[in-house]
Amino acid sequence: MKKFYRSRHWLGSRRLTLLAAVLLFLVGLLVLGAKPEDLKPSEGGLRLAGKFLKAAVQPAFDYEAGDLPAAAPPFWEKVGHSLVLTLRYALVAMSMALFGGLVLGVLGSRSWWPVVNVSSPSGLVLLWILRSVRIVIRALATLARSVHELLWALLFITAVGTSPLAAVLAIALPYGGTLAKVFSELLDEQDAGAANVMRAGGAGSSAAFLIGVGVRAFPDLITYVLYRLECAVRSSAILGFMGIPTLGYHIATAYEDGHLREIWTYLYVLLIAVLVVDQWGALVRRRLSRPGPAREAGHVDDPVAELRRKRPRSLVLRASLVLAFGAVVVGWTTESRWQSELPAGQRQANLERFMREAIPHPVREADNDWGKLGPWLKERICPEGAVALHRTFHIGTIAILFAGCAALLAVPFAARSLATRNILEVPGGRERVRGLRAGIGCVLRAGALVMRSIPEYIIAFLLLQVLGPTIWPLVIALALHNGGILLRLGSEVIDNRSSRAAEVLVAQGATRSGIFTGSLLPESFNRFLLLLFYRWETCIREATVLGMLGVLSLGSLIDDANTRLFYDDMLLYVLLGALLVFAGDVVSDLLRLRLKGGLVRKGAVHLF
């Protein structure tokens, strides 16, 4: 028994986790045949890159084309309209995703479910039932987020036609699933000691969970919601590549027409929109993590009503809540027609045709004889589907490991709590952050904002023109984009953490690097791992979509099937990508459980 526990501890060690990451990275490079010489750009690619970068300092303030029809709207009116649509669809989609993510996230967390006594048969039955319910809930959330929003949009548009509702649902479904996963894991990462004390004192399970777990996790939950809103703005813009008239639609048409200056105008507008959301989120997070002083000093004998009157209040938080609610209401009510402009009968016929043709061809031709499914699957998966699946996995894995390593090195310099004059706001530390170090932090945060604001689809497309159809454009585009996201989220993990050990190190004169590696990093390791697995899932979805640019992966097979109107093949390859995300979710869940030391107590077990 002692040997078993020692082995279990070794399997759950952080050392083995890092070793596995290094091995996956090296194996991926070998499998994909990624050669350093492929990073050398061609002469024509360099010229194109030069023109594109030159256009960055000369964005268009009017149409580049001179032969416009008389009915064409003014340039800035078109830019403003596409920006409004981008923000509207993002807000409406996030309102739907937040509701679904909150419900599924709470029900999918271990901390919501009670500790079950397994010393009796009825306890074992109850444990089995609760585990089954949680598994079903997590499976629903995983299925929703396992398909990229562009693929959801492709499916909806193919089924019922282009419409605002298709755009909103394409964002809301994967975002709701992602919120559910992250919410449940953020709740599980909280110390449940306070909730257990409340339960032991007679409090109800719901009250103990809400106060003992939910309140502690609230800043992290809000942080992630605001981050997802920023992502929703970017995703709403990218949906333009599927025909939705957001910023991405005009970026795509400008690229086809060779109007590089117009592309940068739309990119700068998107960057400004993301920057506004980012700064608003940073302001809200600061108010949540470091509230102001109470209006008046409280006394021990004050009644509850008097204490509530004296409590700290934030005008920023109240105004933000009203603004967010009003923006969502406006977003829902200002759209005149959510459905496609096609007649209802045509939409119904298109949906029935899509559902019919989504059934595998041999099964459909044999009057729904599902015995024909096996040979059809074997023909599609072996070897082409298996090779594409394998390549998609390694593209996403290499990219996220690149991004995670770079972000981890940059977090100590980019976290605001480590880049202030008084580190962690603890006076008396020996190290002072000089202007150069503070400037490095600002540059890193600005660079991360730019990297995560420009859609990876655009980055990969440009790099493919420069480097040619190798694997590197996809890996670099995903690494840059996700590195910016991980740097932001990792910095916020540090900024939101309250660590007595780190404060003691500051008071003793430790350096910023020593504080990070000696206290903050070990304490936040599980949280960093959670974010890395979450972004790995996103990398898998994005690697699938980027395959539509021509590099062999699941995306290239999906694009080919859609072009030939083979909806059964298209759906199969979409589901193959979803299987990768399912596998990653299971591994993430089990690994975090082992790193946390297990959840076993004598006579009782927590819900797995």
Alpha carbon of residue 546 to chain centroid: 16
pLDDT of residue 12: 47
CA separation for the pair 197, 391 (Å, rounded): 49
Contact 98, 87 (CB under 8 A): no
pLDDT per position as a tens digit, 315-360: 777 888 888 888 888 888 887 777 777 777 777 777 778 788 788 8
Positive or negative, the CA dihedral 408, 409, 412, 416 is negative
* Three-state DSSP state, 128: helix
Residue with tokens 């690494």: 479
Is the model more confident about 504 or about 439? 439
Residue 56 reports pLDDT greater than 60: yes
Alpha carbon of residue 339 to chain centroid: 27
CA separation for the pair 504, 512 (Å, rounded): 13
Nearest CA to 543 among 558, 553, 557? 553
Q: What is the mean pLDDT of the chain?
A: 78
Lowest mean pLDDT among 155-169, 208-222, 410-424: 410-424
Contact 110, 607 (CB under 8 A): yes
Contact 361, 568 (CB under 8 A): yes
Provide CATH 1.10.3720.10 ranges for the chain.
Answer: 73-294+313-342, 358-604
How far, CA to CA in Å, does 295 sit from each of 91, 152, 309, 311, 316?
34, 49, 8, 6, 16
* Segment of 157-161, 201-205, 237-241 carrying the highest mean pLDDT: 237-241
Alpha carbon of residue 451 to chain centroid: 14
How many percent of the chain have pLDDT more than 70?
Answer: 81
Is the model more confident about 60 or about 549? 60
pLDDT of residue 420: 67
**Using CA atoms in the order 513, 518, 519, 525, what is the torsion angle rounded to 10 degrees?**
90
Q: 437-444 contacts: CB < 8 A, separation 24 or more? A: 437/413, 440/413, 441/413, 441/414, 441/415, 441/416, 444/410, 444/413, 444/414, 444/487
600: phi then psi, degrees, rounded to nearest 5: -110, 135
Alpha carbon of residue 565 to chain centroid: 30
Show the DSSP H helices in 425-471 as ranges: 435-453, 456-467
Is the model more confident about 551 or about 4? 551
Beta-carbon contacts of residue 599 (< 8 Å; ≥ 6 apart): 110, 593, 605, 606, 608
The size of the chain, in residues, is 608
Mean pLDDT (whole number) for 508-536: 75
Contact 151, 553 (CB under 8 A): no
Show the DSSP H helices in 258-360 as ranges: 260-289, 304-310, 315-333, 344-357
40: how many CB neighbours lie within 10 A of its CB? 10
Class (C level, CATH) for 73-294+313-342: mainly alpha
pLDDT of residue 97: 93
pLDDT band with cut points at 50, 70 and 90 for residue 93: very high
Beta-carbon contacts of residue 334 (< 8 Å; ≥ 6 apart): 88
How far, CA to CA in Å, does 283 sit from each of 232, 287, 316, 319?
19, 6, 8, 12
Question: 358-604: which CATH topology?
Answer: MetI-like fold (1.10.3720)
